[in-house]
Structures are given as structure tokens and as C-alpha cells.
Amino acid sequence: MRRDTPARPINRPASSMAQRTAGGTVMNRSENTLKDLSKKQKEYVGKMLENFLEILKLMKLEEDRGTPIRVQTAEQEQLEMAVRAANVVRSAENLLALSEDLKKLFFLNDFPYITQTVQKARDTAKAESIETQARMIYIYREMENELLDLEEEYGSVWYLKPQDPILSDLTNGDAPH
């Protein structure tokens, strides 16, 4: 800080304080982007209107088209109309690109929708996980019963341990989520 200038207190308006919050800066950026897109939209529509009006001004009917001077000016006007028509097309393409930018902006800044979609996907995955675990436990118990029946019938050396770690993990709720 230089010595020759007195220190001034920094007075920030309340709006700048709100902009420093996480949501405030995002909203500020999106508002600025919307303002820029609005300016571009007005500019492109203005260019389209200007070029279209100039094309209409150039379209005039004259009776004497046989003179060499009139032929030259007619060709010049035709060329100018073609250039202006190309400008109208370019402005229309820019408006389409602007529309695409607006769609992206609104999609990317629609945080409640994104949060809701993620929450719904998480709930669906959790429900499917619980259902899969229940099916696994059912299949495990069915296999256990069948193997015990086979052991009784054939006297095999194969047996299931009464405290199987897989079954105890699944029934105690210690399964990974």
C-alpha cells in the first residue's frame, strides 16, 4: 500500500457478499452468461432484419432494363442481394448455435434436477442390491438344505459348517453397500 494515499475502508454491497457463496458465484456466472447470450441474440436478430430490409429495398422493378448502365447496376444489386442473403443465413445459423448454448446452459445449471436424478438412481441401485442379497441368501439356504439332504442320503464327507462366514456376513447386514 502506498503511503501517499489514505487507506479507505472497503465497502462491499450485500450482493457481492452473497455472490461469494458457492451458489452465488454459479448464479452470477449464469446470469452473466444469460446477459451475453441475450446481447448476441439481439445482435443476430438485428443483423437478420437489417439484411432482409436491404434485400427488400434492392428489389425494385424498372421498365428500362436494356441500357448498359442499368444492366451493370442490376448485376451489382443482384450480387449485393446474394451477399445479404448469405448474411441472413449466417445470422440464422448463429441463432441456432445460440439456442444450443442456451440448452447446454440450462441443462448444466439445473442442479435440483441433477440431484434428484442422482438420488433416484442411488435409491434404485440400493433396492436392487438388497433384492440381490436376498436372492443370494435364498439360493445359499436352498443349496445348504440340498447338500444336507444329499449328505444324509449318501453319507458323504462333504458338509456345510454351521457358522459359515458368508452367510453370517449377509444375514448380519455387514454386506458391502
* DSSP-assigned states of every residue in 87-114: HHHHHHHHHHHHHHHHHHHHHHT-HHHH
Locate cell 503511503: which residue?
3
The Cα–Cα gap between 78 and 88 comes to 15
Q: Which of 86, 109, 132 is the last residue of a domain?
A: 109
Same domain, 27 and 97: yes
139-169 burial, b at 16+ Cβ within 10 Å, e below that, comes to ebeeeeeeeeeeeeeeeeeeeeeeeeeebee
Contact 171, 137 (CB under 8 A): yes
Based on the fold, state whether residues 135 and 79 are members of the same structural domain.
no
Angle at 56 between CA 42 and CA 62, to 5 degrees: 165
In a domain? residue 163: yes
Residue 1 lies in a domain: no
For residue range 52-69, list pLDDT tens digits in order.
Answer: 999 888 887 666 656 666
Q: Clarify whether residues 102 and 33 are in a common domain.
A: yes
Nearest alpha-carbon partner for 91 in 40, 57, 56: 40
* Domain endpoint, select from 94, 109, 124: 109
Residue 81 identity (one-letter amino acid)? M
> Nine-digit cell at 28?
452470477
Contact between 163 and 144 under an 8 Å Cβ cutoff? The reply is: no
pLDDT digits (tens, 9 = 90+) for 96-141: 999 898 888 877 777 777 788 889 999 999 999 999 999 999 999 9
As a whole number, the mean pLDDT across the chain is: 75
pLDDT of residue 134: 95
Residue 37 lies in domain: 14-109
**Is the pTM for the entire model greater than 0.95?**
no
